[in-house]
Amino acid sequence: MEWYLKVLKEYVGFSGRARRKEYWMFMLFNMIAMLVLAIIDGVLGTYPLFYGLYSLAVFLPSLAVAIRRLHDTGKSGAWILISLVPLVGAIVLLIFTCTDSQPNDNQFGPNPKAKF
């Protein structure tokens, strides 16, 4: 839960770096929350009210953490646009987000693993 809240606190922080753990824990909690809200919407017959509001609320934090994750691997945030390429783009982005951090400081900031 702390990783999820950390990302929300850096709501539109597009600079810096994000560890794999920070990114994937945020995505895991995000997917669980979306699933629960979709089920609640389905039961109440309000789909996509709660699901849509939540998705809209976490759009910028999701984008920001993805860009910081790319920075951690030494890539520009512009690489997020590769996801617009059908199928192949999503696979490439998945590989980038699964790649380990650059061990030293890079142009985007110090290694976040060094803090822990």
pLDDT in tens, 10-30: 888 899 999 999 999 999 999
Rounded Cα distance between 19 and 108, Å, is 13
Q: Where are the domains of the chain?
A: 2-109
User: What's the average model confidence in pLDDT over 47-56?
Assistant: 96
Question: Integer distance in angstroms from the first to the last C-alpha of the chain?
Answer: 17
Q: What is the pLDDT of residue 98?
A: 96
- Reading phi first (left if > 0) and then psi (alpha if -120 to 50, else beta), residue 47 is in beta
Q: Give the span between the Cα atoms of 66 and 13, in whole angstroms.
A: 11
